[in-house]
Structure 1
Amino acid sequence: MQILDELNKDIDKLSLDLGGFIKQNVVDFRKKGVLLGVSGGIDSAVALTLSVQELGAENVYGLLLPEKESAPSSTPLGAEICESLGVQYEEVPISPILESLDIYNKKDQVIKRACPEYDPEVHKTSLVLPDFLDGGLINVPYIKLAKDGEVIAQHRLKASDYLELIGLQGVKQRSRMIVQYMYAEKMNYAVCGTTNKTEMVLGQFVKYGDGGVDIEPLADCYKTQVYALAKHLDVNEAIRERPPSPDTWSHYTSDQDFYWRMPMHTIDQLLYAQEHKLPLDVVRENTGLPEEKIVRAQKHFDVVKKNTEYIRAVAPVFTLNGNH
């Protein structure tokens, strides 16, 4: 079998089913429409297009939520797809929220501890992990410093510094969600999420940030399927060709550089194979990877899934009868 063919089959039916899901939930929630944070990325573009096709542009609202470390192309691409679909939208920069919490300054202080030469007036930064399939260490994140678009240095992070940076960066997604709900509740709209299955399975989203939404139409679609949907829906080619990224670091950091640590099609095939318990020889034939790398990757996924269970779970609730 060809895993990518399985992932990408019946995309027209999938598109219709997803649109029906969005509409049904809007009806069930007694909402007038949906609101989305539009980032200029593939996931929000697909969710936006599906929403417009099912609900009509007049019942969809877009928010562009940039901050000073967003990629320069994010806002123009987000605005362009909203305009092409006839969706009303508004730009609400979240930098003032982050500045009021001193997020940028706190982040600079952490980076300076790891990178003595770091100058925020000169350098852009990104957080990355070594390539997993080529033998990179599993848990050694490091900071890259870039100047004039070129990486000039990289420094390993202590675990405590890494955790602090993750906490500071998560404020960006959580700030965006605060703004989305402020608008959605005023309009009586549902907040539509954009997390795909690759991200959902691996806990690649921020709890109460981009994970804090009313509906998640793409949560059972691997990233590969999202790209197939984008082509089927004729999403702007500039968005389809843009490397997927959380867009929270001043030096553009792709999902492959940090979260996936391997090509998108490879990780999706490995996750699909694990989900469907495919034989190793089938996985090897599809991915071109030797058996030891496949086994190592799937063990790694098991650890990641276990460590991120709390992100996907509803908060435990104490009850008087002793059940949790």
Structure 2
Amino acid sequence: MQTEKITEKIVSWLKDYAQNAKMNGYVIGVSGGVDSAVVSTLCAMTGLKTLLIEMPIHQKEDQVNRAWEHIEDLKSKFSNIQAISLNLTPAFDELYRSFKADDQEYPEEKLAFANTRARLRMLTLYYFGQLNGLLVCGTGNKVEDFGIGFYTKYGDGGVDVSPIADLYKTEVYALAKSLNLVESIQNAIPTDGLWDVERTDEQQIGATYPELEKIQKEWGTKTEADYSGRDLEVYKIFSRMNKAAQHKMQPIPVCDIPEEWR
């Protein structure tokens, strides 16, 4: 993997896009994970204004600590970095009360409120983006965005640009190493940070990112009959999640009205 060329390409792409849009730079939500750390670093490298926002909602301490270790490391290297922390827990709790939620009685509400956390963060990013003339920069990778749809619609999927969406997760880790990100970020176990009790991505999905990447790279050229053992298990996971997530990946359906009816 030619990490230097990929880095230069993304940084140039980000800078050109913002300047052509006549925007001042980018705002990124920093979670303590490798994706947001890599993206925020690439945005910082453009030299444009880069606002990093850490948005805890009942967040685990290790995630918060990783996020700020990364933020402080970036601030020491780039003068165009600004960073703030906004505790969204009170806003989330008020929504929970307003909706009269009871996830003990209705387990499906747990997922709904996990997604609500991502949507609260999205509206926060757009608020500060609009105030400062900044584009919201997405942090989704290729497996999440175009493989299994492992993101929240109009949450972390609600962005203006997606600079690493053509990179597999393992490639994002390679960029993190090339960019010399802090060790805690490079060694972080992937998690979406949407649950009170931490659930890793692998626990939620049932497969690792390298396993999923193998299937995605062969998607469309191989069928279920071509797999066996663990590969077959992962193929079924990928296939099920990919089909269920098409509403996220495809354009919003529009009901076409015949011209002669107008």
TM tier relative to shorter chain: 0.7 to 0.9
Change (3 A) 1:306 1:279: closer
* SS at 2:51 equivalent: strand
Report the number of matched residues: 252
Change (3 A) 1:293 1:211: same
User: Who is 2:78 aligned against?
Assistant: none
* SS at 2:46 equivalent: helix
User: Who is 2:162 aligned against?
Assistant: 216
User: Who is 2:103 aligned against?
Assistant: 110
State the shift of 1:263 in Å.
2.4
Match of 1:246 among 192, 199, 216: 192
Residues 115-135 of structure 1 show CA distances to partners (whole Å, capped at 9, x for unaligned) of xxxxxxxxxxxxxxxxxxxxx
Contact map agreement 1:40 1:75 (CA 8 A) in 2: yes
Match of 1:23 among 8, 15, 19: 15
* SS at 1:102 equivalent: helix
| Unpaired stretches in structure 2, ≥5 consecutive residues | 76-80
Change (3 A) 1:210 1:279: closer
Letter in 2 for 1:84: D
User: Who is 2:128 aligned against?
Assistant: 183
1: distance between equivalents of 2:140 and 2:6?
Answer: 16
Contact map agreement 1:79 1:89 (CA 8 A) in 2: no
Letter in 2 for 1:49: T
User: Who is 2:149 aligned against?
Assistant: 203
User: Who is 2:64 aligned against?
Assistant: 75
State the shift of 1:279 in Å.
10
| Unpaired stretches in structure 1, ≥5 consecutive residues | 1-8, 114-160, 284-289
Contact map agreement 2:31 2:54 (CA 8 A) in 1: yes
Letter in 2 for 1:302: S
State the shift of 1:74 in Å.
2.0
Which has the greater radius of gyration? 1
Contact map agreement 2:73 2:182 (CA 8 A) in 1: no
User: Who is 1:84 aligned against?
Assistant: 73
* SS at 1:73 equivalent: helix
State the TM-score, normalizing by the size of structure 2.
0.88
Residues 56-107 of structure 1 show CA distances to partners (whole Å, capped at 9, x for unaligned) of 5xx1010010012x11022222222222222211111111211111269966
Letter in 1 for 2:86: V
2: distance between equivalents of 1:162 and 1:293?
Answer: 30
1: distance between equivalents of 2:191 and 2:18?
Answer: 28
Letter in 2 for 1:47: V
